[in-house]
């Protein structure tokens, strides 16, 4: 995909496009025309970084875009996707031209965006499944009081309660172990004054696991523990699911193809889940799809420090080309 997050790096998404171009160029040079068509696709809005329109390019190809979304989906400046397309010289209804019904498979190369391959000195990751996620908004309500005259044991401090919840949420997920992860990345404390006991706190939960049952079990346990803490401290609590995505298994036959290709290239490989969402996640619900990872130095991603060594990128492109050669050449 062409886009990245704000202040992100230059490898996330873009490396997959370049690797695809390099792979097809090598195949054409050494093997000639393929028996089946091969195409490189550069997708947009994978990251949800401007519009709340994640996987927009993929969904357009699959015919999943609704016309009403062109005006309904807007960025922080209240500019709609339709207006942005017009500003770029694109007719808004051109999304219909992206629809394809003739696709047989989708292969995606991507940086790992984590440090497992880097730490274990492994060349290639073969993605078994892309994680499921659930986003929740937790609201904790107490009572605003004077910071100097209200004894500690008489306070209904929403922030103290929310802080305890954060510790317990982290404990529950750490107890579950890898690959479960949770992030509490957004906090809003009200009234937000230095001398007022916090009356209300809102915080986000980003919970991820590649197994749907485990994801749901963790979500239930987290919400139950937060509710118990609220009751213990005479606080009110509400929770809202603001977004979710089911885990998606990758195609077993294409996984096996990538494993054979890695072996043929002399590359070490590891089967692993993806903790991040990808275009393959959406594609895989409609056609066979698979992914391969190349290492990220120290696991850095969504950062200007994001980097993959040239040798690792080249090896990944070679494995991709080898897999494609086995797929479409006799």
51 and 114 share a domain? yes
Q: How confident is the model at residue 105 (pLDDT cuts 50, 70, 90)?
A: very high
213-217, long-range: CB < 8 A, 24+ apart: 214/176, 214/180, 215/132, 215/133, 215/134, 215/247
Is it the case that residue 107 has pLDDT exceeding 80? yes
Above pLDDT 70, what percent of the chain? 100
From CA 92, how far away is CA 95, in angstroms rounded? 7
- Find residue 238's DSSP bridge partners: 139
pLDDT of residue 303: 94
Question: Residue 321: which CATH number?
Answer: 3.40.630.10
For 233-279, what is each residue's pLDDT tens digit?
A: 999 999 999 989 899 999 999 999 999 999 999 999 999 999 999 99
Q: What is the mean pLDDT of residues 151-177?
A: 98
Is it the case that residue 330 has pLDDT exceeding 90? no
121 and 57 share a domain? yes
Which of these three, 225, 245, 265, is where a domain ends? 245
Q: How confident is the model at residue 307 (pLDDT cuts 50, 70, 90)?
A: very high
Q: Kindly report the pTM of this predicted structure.
A: 0.87
255 and 121 share a domain? yes
209 and 282 share a domain? no
Which of these three, 219, 245, 271, is where a domain ends? 245
Bridge pairing between strands 124-130 and 248-249: antiparallel
The 10 Å Cβ neighbour count of residue 253 is: 11
32 and 19 share a domain? yes
312 and 210 share a domain? no
172 and 229 share a domain? yes
Tokens of 321: 């080309």
120 and 38 share a domain? yes
What are the backbone angles phi and psi of residue 20, rounded to the nearest 5°?
Answer: -65, -45
Q: Which of 315, 307, 234, 310 is nearest to 268 (CA)?
A: 315
253 and 205 share a domain? no
**Distance, first Cα to last Cα, the chain:** 30
For 208-221, what is each residue's pLDDT tens digit?
A: 999 999 999 999 99
Above pLDDT 90, what percent of the chain? 95
293 and 145 share a domain? no
Where in the sequence is the domain holding 36, given as residue range(s)?
14-63+99-130+248-328
For 42-95, what is each residue's pLDDT tens digit?
A: 999 999 888 888 899 999 999 999 999 999 999 989 999 999 999 999 999 999
Question: Residue 140: which CATH number?
Answer: 3.30.70.360
Which of these three, 245, 273, 293, is where a domain ends? 245
Total domain count for the chain? 2
């Amino acid at each position: 995909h062409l886009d990245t997050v704000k202040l992100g790096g230059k490898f996330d998404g873009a490396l997959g496009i370049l690797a695809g171009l390099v792979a097809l160029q090598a195949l054409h040079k050494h093997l000639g025309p393929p028996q089946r068509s091969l195409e490189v696709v550069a997708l947009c809005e994978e990251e949800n970084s401007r519009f709340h329109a994640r996987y927009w390019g993929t969904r357009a190809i699959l015919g999943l875009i609704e016309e009403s979304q062109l005006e309904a989906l807007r960025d922080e400046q209240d500019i709609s996707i339709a207006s942005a397309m017009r500003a770029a010289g694109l007719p808004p209804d051109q999304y219909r031209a992206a629809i394809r019904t003739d696709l047989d498979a989708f292969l995606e190369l991507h940086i790992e965006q984590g440090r497992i391959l880097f730490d274990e000195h492994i060349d290639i990751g073969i993605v078994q499944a892309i994680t499921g996620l659930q986003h929740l908004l937790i609201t904790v309500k107490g009572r605003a009081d004077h910071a100097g005259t209200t004894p500690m044991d008489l306070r209904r401090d929403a922030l103290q309660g929310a802080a305890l919840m954060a510790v317990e949420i982290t404990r529950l997920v750490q107890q579950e172990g890898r690959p479960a992860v949770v992030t509490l990345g957004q906090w809003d404390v009200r009234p937000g004054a230095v001398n007022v006991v916090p009356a209300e706190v809102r915080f986000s939960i980003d919970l991820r696991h590649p197994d749907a049952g485990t994801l749901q079990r963790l979500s239930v346990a987290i919400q139950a523990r937060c509710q118990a803490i609220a009751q213990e401290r005479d606080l009110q609590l509400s929770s809202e699911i603001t977004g979710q995505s089911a885990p998606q298994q990758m195609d077993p036959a294409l996984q096996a193809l990538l494993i054979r290709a890695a072996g043929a290239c002399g590359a070490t490989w590891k089967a692993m889940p993806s903790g991040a969402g990808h275009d393959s996640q959406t594609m895989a619900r409609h056609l066979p799809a698979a992914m391969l990872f190349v290492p990220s130095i120290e696991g850095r991603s969504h950062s200007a420090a994001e980097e993959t060594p040239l040798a690792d990128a080249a090896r990944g492109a070679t494995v991709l080309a080898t897999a494609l050669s086995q797929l479409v050449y006799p």
